[in-house]
Amino acid sequence: MRDRFLELLGPSGWRSTPEEMRPFARDWLDRHGETPLGVALPCSTPEVAAVLRLAGALGLTVTPQGGNTGLNGGSVISAGRPGIILSLARMNRIHEIDPIGMTATVDAGLVLQRLHDAVADHGLMFPLHLGSEGSAQIGGLIATNAGGSLAARHGMIEAQVLGLEVVLPDGSVWDGMRALIKDNTGLQLRKLFCGAEGRLGVVTRAILRLHPAPRVRASALLAVADLRSALKLGADLRRDAGDMLAATEFFCETGLEMLLRHLPTLSRPIQARGPYYLLVELASASNCADPEAVLADLIESAFEAGEVLDGTIAASDAQRAALWRLREEMPEGQRLEGPQIKHDIAVPVARLAEFVAGIEAGLQTVLPGVRVNPFGHLGDGNVHLNLSPPPGAGFDGRESALSGLVYDLAAGMGGSFSAEHGLGQAKVALADRLRGATERQLMAALIAAVDPEGRMNPGKIV
């Protein structure tokens, strides 16, 4: 096997010693990942196709891997399903930025931050921001249909994918690289690969939609009386600011206190303590807009109504970055705190406060003293509900009971058990429990139609 892959890809395209494979073998959270039989690093679409054909001939399974920042173990080898990893790391070129059509044509292995930097030079922006953007790749973001902080305004990444090129499990190449907003020529195949988590093939290139970069913006951090007030403020902002409303992110005092303890270089930007904090950003590409005035007006009325306890509007780019860091480092603060149980829930926006209040009370009945750290994207009802055990204690074997409560309450409200992180291998059993049989069979049938031998990333999704 080694010689065949070395012959195909050369020494820089194949890794097979334990030392060489270590960076690829385990997932971001170090929870999943069997040692692969090898790691292929092709540097072109024909090479990806050749790797899939050779893997097929050798009877090997293939797991595509991007930046390996996925949170459900999708990018590493599942237990009992030995195979190779196909890393896109060497396919990282920006082929074209079209300032008239406002599109970018890129390789799947391009790291998101590099795309942000490149399009900024053209006065454009790509509306996807998330804490992992320094490592996550375009192909991985598409394969997980990533959301992030701008999703309420711009949608998940699928809304920005115009064209795609995908190498199918048998090594054939689907060329869907069309830079078209309108293209109703049958099934919307590109949508099928958004969220497919590598089960239908390897995304190798994409044409992405760009947007004018904001010229004016205003960002504020507000301590709010409760989540209900935050939701009301979010809805008021949508009405008054319209398309200017770029993001409404929230976190709580439990999470902030944890973060400041573990990352002491960060500091509190406002005196008053939450229970909750709302990070709001208004932005516009038009110089005529005045987002700061709109924001200041709304904050004033919310302050008078007792919904906002305290707040600050960023006076500089550095202050804005400091506010955003508090939100973006929330997962890191939680990780440094020690053992944790993570949930990525979405509920209908109007029911977010009801969900969080209900779950906070319910969890205490399962494990008194459990610390609940909800944070996330208010505008799309997406809450990352992370749990830490009571100080100095463990979860005491109650992990399944705690998570079961979270998932059942969310399901009862018409929510999602995986809002933006996908299923990977971590949530397959959960999906089997919560997803209707018809939905599961439909997904299994689609995967089997494209990959009858079940060689692409087995053990993920279904």
Ligand X SMILES: Cc1cc2nc3c(=O)[nH]c(=O)nc-3n(C[C@H](O)[C@H](O)[C@H](O)COP(=O)(O)OP(=O)(O)OC[C@H]3O[C@@H](n4cnc5c(N)ncnc54)[C@H](O)[C@@H]3O)c2cc1C
Please identify, using beta-carbon distances, which residue of 157 and 294 lies nearer to ligand X. Answer: 157
Q: Does residue 68 interact with ligand X by CB under 6 A?
A: yes
28 or 277, CB closer to ligand X? 28
Indicate the residue among 23 and 348 with the shorter CB distance to ligand X: 23
Q: Check the CA dihedral 252-257-263-269 and report its sign.
A: positive
Residue 420 found at the interface with ligand X (CB under 6 A):
yes
219 binds ligand X (CB under 6 A): no
Q: How many Cβ atoms from other residues are within 10 Å of residue 441's Cβ?
A: 12
Nearer to ligand X (CB atom), residue 311 or residue 415: 415
The two tokens of residue 391 are 């100080």
Angle between helices 317-328 and 330-337 (to 10 degrees): 40
**Interface with ligand X includes 141 (CB under 6 A)?**
yes
Q: DSSP for 301-350?
A: HHHHTTSEEEEEE--SHHHHHHHHHHHHTHHHHHHHHSS-B--EEE--GG
Nearer to ligand X, 109 or 311 (CB): 109
Q: Check residue 139 for interaction with ligand X (CB under 6 A).
A: yes
State which residue has the least CB distance to ligand X: 140
* Beta carbons of 111 and 92 less than 8 angstroms apart: yes
CB-wise, 209 or 460, nearer to ligand X? 460
Site for ligand X in 71-110 (CB under 6 A): 71, 74-75, 88, 108
From candidates 131, 195, 255, 415, binder to ligand X by CB under 6 A: 131
Phi, psi of 249 (to 5 degrees): -110, 150
**Which stretch of DSSP H or E encloses residue 162?**
strand 161-167
Interaction of residue 283 with ligand X, rule CB under 6 A = no
Q: Closer CB to ligand X, residue 130 or residue 280?
A: 130
Q: Does 54 bind ligand X (CB under 6 A)?
A: no
Q: From the list 105, 144, 334, 403, which residue makes contact with ligand X (rule: CB under 6 A)?
A: 144
CA dihedral 418, 422, 427, 433 (to 10 degrees): 60
Does 67 interact with ligand X (rule: CB under 6 A)? yes
Alpha-helical (H) ranges within 224-290 are 227-241, 253-262
Can you say whether the dihedral through the CA atoms of 444, 450, 455, 460 is positive or negative?
A: negative
Residue 203 touching ligand X (CB under 6 A): yes
Is 132 a binder of ligand X (CB under 6 A)?
yes
Rule CB under 6 A: say whether 64 interacts with ligand X: yes
Given a contact cutoff of 8 angstroms between Cβ atoms, the answer to whether 73 and 425 are in contact is yes
Site for ligand X, residues 221 to 280, rule: CB under 6 A? none
Rounded distance, CA 64 to CA 434, Å?
26
Interface of this chain with ligand X, residues 297 to 336, rule: CB under 6 A:
331
Of the listed pieces 5-13, 197-205, 264-272, 438-446, which binds ligand X according to CB under 6 A? 197-205
Are 60 and 14 contacting, i.e. CB atoms less than 8 angstroms apart? no
In the complex, the residues that contact ligand X under the rule CB under 6 A are 28, 63-71, 74-75, 88, 108, 130-132, 136-137, 139-141, 143-144, 146-148, 197-198, 202-203, 331, 420-421, 424, 457, 460
